[in-house]
Amino acid sequence: MSAGLLTLEGVNKSFGPVGVLHDVAFSVEAGDVVALVGDNGAGKSTLVKCIAGIHPVDSGTFRFEGERVTLHDPRAAAGLGIEVVYQDLALADNLDIVQNMFLGRERGSTWYLDEETMEEQARSALASLSVRTISSVRQPVSALSGGQRQTVAIAKSVLWESKVILLDEPTAALGVAQTRQVLNLVRRLAEQGRGVVLISHNLADVFEVADRIAVLYLGRLVAEVKTSEVTHSQVVQLITSGRSDELGIGRPETSAIPTT
């Protein structure tokens, strides 16, 4: 595996006697969109939480920009420039866009919030992604559509100059137009030189925006292929059986069925 912006080697994770991740090797490069796919129980959520510093790994190596690192908590991951946009988005409905984007990282002092600077930086983050569907950064999040909420969550990661962004099912429950907006944002993130990990069950979205596809099966990374070199049916076979005769990929040995 070539060195990337973020590289994982030999990552193992168990919960009690249940092995969830087995010798996972995975990389994300700058300007790259990698789709992480797999059936329910494949270990996707666990892998994402390990990268985010939520779950400590039992063994394995993490390298960020070539340097070995320890992701012992979410703050350590965020400090490196790793951000996760979860499916529930973690936005506060009762706050406006600016307040959400700076929540916990407000500009100003103990006695004074620099609202003007925060508004300007929020607008700049949205503008950098060519977002035109949000008319005011002072709109309450409760008034936004699903696509607009996803946009705010993604722009928040851009605001903090993240280098690797993990998007957990970003188009789930979105309509056609909103899905298009979000997929455009994903490509813009990569064009800006960020590494993007797209976790998705929607293969149409995956084939549209991903440069590579990494397939997890029962906690093992069974394939990492260029999107342009595989078909939908081949990826489905990898997801459901962990093997593909057409690609010459055999089913791995598995010791346990993991849960996410």
Q: What does the alpha-carbon distance between residue 72 and residue 144 come to, in Å, rounded to a whole number? A: 35
Q: How far is CA 140 from CA 98, 133, 152, 174, in A?
A: 9, 14, 11, 19
| Residue 94 one-letter amino acid | N
What pLDDT digit, counting tens, does each position of 81-111 carry?
Answer: 999 988 776 788 999 999 999 988 888 887 8
Residue 244 has which token pair? 């593909």
* 70 secondary structure, DSSP code: -
For the chain, which domains are there? 1-81+163-260 (3.40.50.300), 92-161 (no CATH)
What pLDDT digit, counting tens, does each position of 49-85 carry?
Answer: 999 999 999 999 999 999 999 998 999 999 999 999 8
| Residue 149 one-letter amino acid | R
What pLDDT digit, counting tens, does each position of 189-248 carry?
Answer: 999 999 999 999 999 999 999 999 999 999 999 999 999 999 999 999 999 999 887 777
H helices within the chain, ranges in order?
44-51, 74-80, 97-101, 115-128, 146-159, 176-191, 203-209, 232-241
